[in-house]
Every structure is written in structure tokens, then in C-alpha cells.
Amino acid sequence: MVKAIVKRFRYGEKGFTLIELLVVVAVLGALAAVAIPNVGRFIGQGEEEAAQTELHNIQTAVMALMADNGASALDGAAFPISTTDMDTITVNTGAALLSTYMSGLNADGTVQSGTSYDFTADGQVTPTP
């Protein structure tokens, strides 16, 4: 009995028609045309925001390092210093390292993004172009 109902329901239908397949391909093409450019834009925007966040975190860590140690300037032979290594930025003749005020660094004290930052004696930080 069930077989008879199924046979009657699908009688003469062997698959999709060419029109149905074309409509599906057209819909998928339209979705891809809208989605792909937006995904690329969002990926680029995320990288930019991550770089801005890293710079802000470094600036905040420098302020905390100087405030906690009562320093009015960073230690260093010549400024500006350009580096990716936060272990090289110190106050009070190397007693306090900037890397101790930061999280998310590589094991060797370098920033994960690989971006170099310029540090001035008064604690200003800018990314190296």
C-alpha cells in the first residue's frame, strides 16, 4: 500500500528539470557575489582593529610601568628606540621591564603581530611605518 502511494506521487518524475537547476545556480551565484566582497572587507578591518588594540595596550603598559616605578623617562642609550621586543624597554636602569606589564606576548617578549614600535624617552609610542 505504501509503495503504491509513493509510486503515484513520484510518477514520471526522475529528477530535477533544467530550469530548476538553472534557478539554483543563479541564486547561489547571486549570494556569492554579495558575500565574497564583504568577507574580504571584514578580514581587513579585523587586522586593522587588532593593530590599533595592540598599540593601545602598549601605550597603557608604558604608562603603568612609568607610574609604578616613579619614572619620568624610559631608560635607553638613544631615543627613539624602534623594537618589537618589549623586554628592551625598561625604567630605573633595567629594574622594571615593559614586558611584565603586558600579556599576549611571545615567549621571548616580542609582540605577536611582529610590528615594530618607536619609543621616545618620555614614553610616547608609535608604530613604525
Kindly report, residue by residue over 80-126, the tens digit of the pLDDT: 888 999 988 998 877 888 999 998 899 999 998 889 999 999 999 99
pTM equals: 0.67
DSSP code at position 15: S
Q: With CA atoms as reference, report the closest residue to 63 among 129, 126, 128, 125.
A: 125
